[in-house]
Structure formats: structure tokens, C-alpha cells
Structure 1
Amino acid sequence: MKTKKSEAARKWGLRIHVLLYVLSNLAQVVVWVLYDPGSHFWPLWSIVFWGIGLVFHVWSVYSPPRSHIAH
């Protein structure tokens, strides 16, 4: 059974996702700066690919609902 989340719950979930994205990627950048600054900027992979997922999350929260047509 699928339940509809309230708009407030969806926005709260998005805020948590953004917070975790920022904190996790910031931690990775700090580790890179402290321990491996001369090498390839490896946190980029997490920033880009997790960022793509985050964009889809933002899109799902703020896009207008689709009307469902029954067949």
C-alpha cells in the first residue's frame, strides 16, 4: 500500500538530504586537503554523482503533482 507523504514531510526529508550531502562532502574535501592535496580531487565523484541524486530529490519535492489517468 502506497501512502502519500505530506508536503511538510517531503520538504523535511529534502532538508535532511541536503544537510547530509553538504556535511559528508565537506568532510571528504577536508580529508583530501589534509592528507592528499597533491593528488586527483577524488571528492569530486561524490559531489557530482550524489549531487545528481539530490537534484532529482529537489525536483520530486518541488515539481507539480502529475495527474494519474486510470486505464
Structure 2
Amino acid sequence: MAENEKNYDLAKERVEKKMGFMIHCGIYVVVNAGLIALNLTRSPDRYWFIWPLLGWGIGVVIHAIKVFGPARSASLKEKMIEKEQSKLNQ
């Protein structure tokens, strides 16, 4: 029973992280579309929208790596805890 609860909690945590990333992407698209529209209607001779687009884009990429990257299965802290537990169980 405890293993099922642990798996449920892990699955719930992963889903929450993925949903957080999707929300982040949605807000990124909406806000930056607005900035692009604002830039092109108010000052079409200077493309300043590229700077917030790139800056925030870096944050979105980092968020994606944290959610979908190789370390997604278990955090470093969880791995260290499991290692210590295995030492104690010997």
C-alpha cells in the first residue's frame, strides 16, 4: 500500500510540474504576442520586442529542461536520500 501511495505522490508531482510548464508556455505566448503587436503598431521602426522574447525564452527553455530533462525521474536530493537509506539498511 505504501508503494502505491509513493507512486501516486510521484505521479501527482510530475503532472503538477508539467502543468506548471504548460501554463508558463501559454502565458509566454500570450504576453509576447501582445508585446510584438504593441511594438509593431507603436514603433515599427525599432524591434525592441526581441529582447523580452529572448530573455523570457531562456527561462522557458530552462523550465523545460527541469521538467522534461534527464534529471526528471528523481531529484538529486531524492537520489542522495535513497543512497543513504541503502547504506543504513546494510
Q: TM-score range by the shorter chain?
A: 0.7 to 0.9
- Aligned partner of 1:57 in structure 2 is 63
Aligned to 2:7: none
* 1:18 lines up with 2:33 in the alignment: no
Deviations 1:23-57 (A, max 9, x none): 0100000001111101x211111110100000000
- Structure 1 residue 64: Cα displacement: 2.8
Q: CA RMSD in A?
A: 1.9
Q: Distance in 1 between matches of 2:47 and 2:41?
A: 12
Map 1:1-71 → 2, pairs under 5 A? 6-38=13-45, 40-65=46-71, 66-67=75-76, 68-69=79-80
Give the total of aligned pairs: 67
What is the CA-CA distance between 1:59 and the residue it aligns to? 0.3
The structure that is helix-richer by fraction is 2
TM-score by length of 1: 0.82
* Aligned residues with identical type, % of pairs: 28
Counterpart Cα distance in 2 of 1:14 and 1:26: 18
Q: Which of structures 1 and 2 has the bigger CA Rg?
A: 2
Query: Can you give the 5+ residue segments of structure 2 that lack an aligned partner in the other structure?
Result: 1-9, 85-90
